[in-house]
Structure 1
Amino acid sequence: MYNFYYLTLFPAIINDYFSESIMKRSVENDILQIHTVDIRDFSNNKHNRVDDYPYGGGAGMIMQAPPIIKAIKSIENHQITPIIFLTPSGIPFNVEECKKLALKLKQSKQFIFLCGHYEGIDQRVIDRYVTDEYSIGDYVLTGGELPALVMSDSIMRQIGGVLGNSDSLKEESFENDLLEYPQYTRPNIVEQMSVPEVLLSGNHAKIKEWRKKKAVELTKIKRPDLIKIKK
């Protein structure tokens, strides 16, 4: 079993996600265990406030260090667990980073995702406790919950048993630096558009050749940056 901890101000966002679809089945099958840790539970005031004005002035509020640190320390084996902070200044998350983290997960058996809010968190938390900083794109969101879910979903797919068919991973987009080939299903004709004949032929060698060709074509058109220059 793999444990995923989410330090957050909004546990419902995380819990709702894992109450549906593939991830729900993985939780029910004891492949994944999801833990939400509400940072507000570790505040030291009656209003459960966990933010304050930034030193030096500036717009917005900053999440305070003490509640976050207490939340981290409440997790068993936090000292040897990767703590991932979601931030626009982090390493861009991509398929290579996903695979690196999946390997790290197999060793540690658990991850901690720290979901920030407001204008950020006290830097001392990052300096002392955070092991990895990641960004899912060059834009800003209102909180770290969505990036944490994006990252963890991608990583969880690498865990054996999460996907019903493990072969799905081998043919996904970005494998071998290519986008995935076009997919079709019944009916054969939709608004006078037919399924390519080769997919109906039963000739698996031809189908494999067609799919590879289409994957290359799509990648050249939509993501030419993924095409490796071979010397």
Structure 2
Amino acid sequence: MPSPTTIWRATILTLFPEMFPGPLGVSLAGRALSSGLWALEARDIRDSATDRHRSVDDTPAGGGPGMVLRADVLAAAIDAADTASEVARHRPRLLMSPRGRPLTQSQVAELAAGPGPLIVCGRFEGIDERVIGARGLEEVSIGDYVLSGGELAAMVLIDACVRLLPGVMGKQESGTDESFSEGLLEYPQYTRPQTFEGQPIPEILLSGDHARVAAWRRAESEALTRARRPDLWAARPNQAPSPKSRQNRPKNTTDG
């Protein structure tokens, strides 16, 4: 078991600390949390408010609907979390945001190999832009859609990281032989019964020939990636976009 100073630790800054651990407290992540393979700390941003109402937000400068998290309160919450952590200076500070850089498996692996992140969960119309730069927050998105707050997005990121930590998964291959590990979608999986509603398991998977099985799985991964994610396929070294993606590409444009 890792020592308390080396354990992977996720610190969450949120207005709703009661949402945690939530799904992270069950199944694979939950067992690992109970076993001490990683740690989770949810801190209430309101604890850094300075007035008796514990105010954390105010109206947007320039007008508009909704409310914005104040820079001074959030900065104080980040500073307090860093003061309480022994690895604060070495951990990434993330802000879950739909305008952030899309989360990828390679970034997940990088985060899992570090000490664990401090994650800010926004609410309302967002947070004051000044605190993003002042506290070095990296904006991260889990998709092109908007949630009520950053808490669910933070759980997605943490779950993706925790499953890669040493000792969490039963077989280490489970973390390397899956979708996105090599820029490809995962091949189809089958198990008993051998025939389901007239559909048999592909014969090659029952052949016992490991080389042929590996080649079949690789070919299936490549075919699925070309068909479903031409963007991933085109991003692989020495791969051209699929015919469909080339056909749909706007004319007279340049790559930035």
TM-score by length of 1: 0.90
Which residue of the partner structure matches residue 174 of structure 2?
168
- The letter for the 1-side match of 2:93 is I
**In structure 2, how many angstroms separate the alpha carbons of the residues matched to 1:54 and 1:220?**
44
Q: With CA pairs under 8 Å and 6+ residues apart, which has the higher RCO, 1 or 2? A: 1
Task: Trace 1:18-97 onto structure 2 (pairs within 5 A).
Answer: 18-75=24-81, 76-77=84-85, 78-97=88-107
Question: Which deviates more, 74-83 or 11-20?
Answer: 74-83
Deviations 1:138-191 (A, max 9, x none): 222111111111122222222211222110122110122211010011111211
1:152 corresponds to which of 155, 158, 161: 158
Task: Trace 1:92-107 onto structure 2 (pairs within 5 A).
Answer: 92-103=102-113, 105=114
**In structure 2, how many angstroms separate the alpha carbons of the residues matched to 1:206 and 1:123?**
54
Q: Give aligned pairs, total.
A: 227
- The letter for the 1-side match of 2:212 is K
Identity of aligned residues (%): 39
**In structure 2, how many angstroms separate the alpha carbons of the residues matched to 1:79 and 1:67?**
20
2:15 maps to 1:9: yes
Deviations 1:54-100 (A, max 9, x none): 12211110011233222222222434432101112211211232233
**In structure 1, how many angstroms separate the alpha carbons of the residues matched to 2:22 and 2:182?**
33
**In structure 2, how many angstroms separate the alpha carbons of the residues matched to 1:158 and 1:27?**
13
Gapped runs of 5+ residues in structure 1? none
The 8 Å contact of residues 6 and 113 in structure 1, kept in 2 or not, is answered as yes
2:200 corresponds to which of 194, 203, 224: 194
Residue 198 of structure 1 and its aligned partner are, at CA, apart by: 1.4
Deviations 1:192-220 (A, max 9, x none): 11111111222212211211111111111
The 8 Å contact of residues 85 and 130 in structure 1, kept in 2 or not, is answered as no
**In structure 2, how many angstroms separate the alpha carbons of the residues matched to 1:66 and 1:84?**
17
**In structure 1, how many angstroms separate the alpha carbons of the residues matched to 2:205 and 2:97?**
43
2:141 maps to 1:135: yes
Alpha-carbon RMSD across the aligned residues, in angstroms, is: 1.8
CA, structure 1 residues 203+79, in 2 after alignment: closer, same or farther (shift >3 Å)?
A: closer
**In structure 2, how many angstroms separate the alpha carbons of the residues matched to 1:196 and 1:12?**
47
Gapped runs of 5+ residues in structure 2? 1-6, 240-256
- The letter for the 1-side match of 2:107 is E
